[in-house]
Amino acid sequence: MKTLQFREAIAEAMSEEMRRDESVYLMGEEVAEYNGAYKASKGMLDEFGDKRVIDTPISELGFAGVGVGSTMTGNRPIIEFMTFNFALVGIDQIINNAAKIRQMSGGQFPCPIVFRGPTASAGQLAATHSQAFESWYANCPGLKVVVPSNPADAKGLLKSAIRDDDPVIFMESEQMYGDKGEVPEGEFTIPLGVADIRRQGSDVTIVSFGKIIKEADKAADELEKEGISCEIIDLRTIKPMDYEAILTSVKKTNRLVVLEEAWPFGNVATEITYHVQAHAFDYLDAPIQKINTADTPAPYSPVLLEEWLPNHEDVIKAVKKVLYK
CA dist 231 and 85 (Å) reads 32
CA distance 220 to 230: 6
Q: Is 34 left (phi over 0), alpha (psi -120 to 50) or beta?
A: alpha
Burial of 50 (0-12, 13-18, 19+ CB in 10 A): exposed
Q: Active-site residue numbers? A: 60, 129
In terms of Cβ atoms closer than 10 Å to its own Cβ (0-12, 13-18, 19+), residue 192 is buried
Burial of 85 (0-12, 13-18, 19+ CB in 10 A): buried
Strands in 30-172 per DSSP E: 53-55, 76-80, 114-118, 144-146, 168-172
Determine which helix (DSSP H) or strand (DSSP E) holds 231, and give its type and residue range. Answer: strand 230-234
In whole angstroms, what is the distance from residue 118 CA to residue 115 CA?
A: 10
DSSP codes, 81-108: -S-TTGGGGGHHIIIIIITTHHHHTTTS
Residue 61 one-letter amino acid: L
Calculated CA dihedral for residues 19, 20, 24, 26, nearest 10 degrees? -40
Q: What angle do CA 237, 243, 244 make, to 5 degrees?
A: 120
